[in-house]
Each structure stands twice: as structure tokens, then as C-alpha cells.
A = this chain, B = another copy of it.
Amino acid sequence: MTDRLSAPVSADELERRLRQIGAERYHNLHPFHKLLHGGHLTRGQVQAWALNRYYYQSRIPMKDAALIARADDAELRRVWRQRLVDHDGEKAGEGGIARWLALTDGLGLERAYVVSTRGILPATRHAVDAYVRFVAEKTLLEAVASSLTEIFSPQIISERVAGMLANYDFVSEETLAYFKARLSQAPRDADYALDYVKRHAISARRQQAALDALVFKCDLLWAQLDALYHAYVAPGHIPPGAFAPEPGG
């Protein structure tokens, strides 16, 4: 980490520092991610990942609506609205959440169980809820900045799709359709958000707040993989009530 800002930096230097946060803290560096891509997880462990990540997906449109609710700039609202379309679709069965459910279907999880979110880890719920609250309660700039992990997501998605297709016979291009859509959506969203942050973070205090918001977001993505690792990899202590893979699953 670099020192905290005491004087404003240029927009380009701010972008460099934002990207540096991703290089140091984005969850593609997490051991669980490497296991997932490398084909080192069982079907049950991949199920646990997809099940928990569903809760994150399901809250994203609510998070984005919370941001729109705070924007008195119609342009920002219009641009951000596309995220609602991407996640909820134009009709039932479309959009990112439906595509995520195609993945959990493909992994053999019962849909009603997934949607109930009964089996997720408490730490998943805490992290995701913390994100939604952050966006609803912090400054609009911090809310926008917390979305900037999308700058880094095309790389992780490419690794994930290639690695999972190569290594698991229980996933297919069809079940991974979610990620394909995100490859074009995320850069478009990230470009706008990064430009917004560079234009609006003009004091040292606001620049630092934007950097901190991105750290907060990276940390909550990381914490979700920590919890999955602890519960399902090593030592494998599944909390009471949480999803338990079938033996040999």
C-alpha cells in the first residue's frame, strides 16, 4: 500500500493507484480462486462456491438501485440503470441472475434451495450485506468507486472460464454463460465508473475516499473466498446449517 494522500494527485496518478489496489488485493490472487481455476476442487466445492456467490449476484441489482436512488444526476442514473437490465433481464429467465442460476442448475443444485439462500455461509451474507449498506450509506463517489473491481474482472473471468472448462467435466460453455456476458458488460461499466471517479475525486480527501472504497470492495470479495476456503477446503469446518456437499460430491 502507498501512503495516504495529503495532497491531490493527477487523475492519471489516481487511476494508477486504483489499478495498483487491484494488482495487490483483487480476489484473483486468492488461493481458492487458484484451486477453482486449476481444476483442484471437487464438484461439491464448486457447488459451495456457486451457491454462496448466488447471494452476491442476487443483491447486486439492489445495490445498484441503492446507488441510483442517491444520484440526483439523471445521466448517472441512466447509465447505471443498464446494470439493472443486465442483472434482472428484460423478462423472467433473462439477465445475469438467471444465468447464474443456470450455472447452479448445471452443477446439480436444487434451484429452490439456491434461491432461498438458506445454505450460504454467514460470512457470505455479512460481506454482501456490508457492500449493499456501504453503497447506500457512503458518499456517491465512494459508492461508484466501490464498483471499480470491474476493471479487473475480465482477467479473472477469462482465467475462470478457460480453467473450469478445461478441468471440470461437470461444467460446460452453456452453464458458464454468465461470465461470457460479463466480459462485455464489465469493461463498459468500469470505463464509465472510472471516468466518473477521476472527474469527481478532485481533492485529496475525496481521492483517498475513492481508493479506500476500492480497498473495502476488494476486501469483501476476498473475505468471501476466505470463508469458502475455511469451510470447504481446509480445515473444512462447515458452519452449522450451511451447505454440505454430498459424500464424494
Contacts and interface: CB of A to CB of B under 8 A. Distances in A.
Stoichiometry, as copies per complex, reads: 2
Interface string A77-107: 1100100110011111001010000000000
A5 B81 CA distance: 39
Interface stretch (A18-26, A63-71, A173-181): A63-71
A65 B72 CA distance: 11
Nearest to A78: B88
A65 B65 contact: yes
A58 interface: yes
Given A65-B69, A68-B65, A81 B75 contact: no
Given A62-B70, A72-B62, A81 B81 contact: yes
Interface residues of A, number: 27
A97 B81 contact: no
B74 A97 contact: yes
A91 B78 CA distance: 7
B92 A88 contact: no
Q: Which 10 residue pairs are nearest across A and B when measured between Cβ atoms?
A: A65-B68, A65-B69, A66-B69, A65-B65, A74-B88, A78-B88, A62-B69, A77-B88, A81-B84, A69-B69
Interface of A: 58, 61-63, 65-72, 74-75, 77-78, 81, 84-85, 88-92, 95, 97, 136
